[in-house]
Amino acid sequence: MNKKQKAILAEVVSIMLVTLIAVVGMINFKDYINRSEAISAMQQLSTIIVDYRKKNGRVPPEYLVTDAVRDLKGGVRLGELQYRGLWIDFDAEPNDILAYTQKNYPSSLLDDGYIILQVDGAVKWMGLDEFRDTLAHRQSEVEIEMTRH
């Protein structure tokens, strides 16, 4: 190989490497933005639920939450929201999980996990194992049985 061929090969490899880095970066950026929008939508939902709870002394029924999610900015990013309002009673702990949605990022550097909304209105990101352990300690046998079907 002469000098000109080596220079061309080096340029091609450099361009390919920069392109690969840019593509991976864009995929991760897209996933980060999607997760951020989903968290923002869950925070909007938190405000609605906390306001309802202050006015009515209980969490809203599922149909009202479903309607509210449709109107949220970025609500579509929540995906399949699981609402546990039926299982939350008056003596619920502030950190009990009221609603959650699973977010998977198979092609990203971001970890898979859940965006959760707690009874006290806090919105958090929780890893898969931590979520499963937390929810398992909070669910009743009846809830587990009914949500399997």
| Residue 146 in this model has a pLDDT that exceeds 80 | no
Choice between 148 and 34, residue whose per-residue pLDDT is larger: 34
| Residue 24 in this model has a pLDDT that exceeds 70 | yes
Residue of 115, 120, 57, 59 lying closest to 87 (CA atoms): 59
Confidence of residue 26 (pLDDT cuts 50, 70, 90): confident
Task: State the residue range of the domain holding 117.
Answer: 3-148
For residues 122 and 95, the answer to whether their CB atoms sit within 8 Å is yes
Cα 72 to Cα 33, 36, 54, 64, 115, distances in angstroms: 16, 14, 20, 13, 16
Confidence of residue 149 (pLDDT cuts 50, 70, 90): low
Give residue 116's pLDDT: 94
The set of residues, in sequence order, having a beta carbon less than 8 Å from that of 89 and lying 6+ positions away, is none
pTM summary value:
0.79
What average pLDDT does the structure give for the chain?
Answer: 87
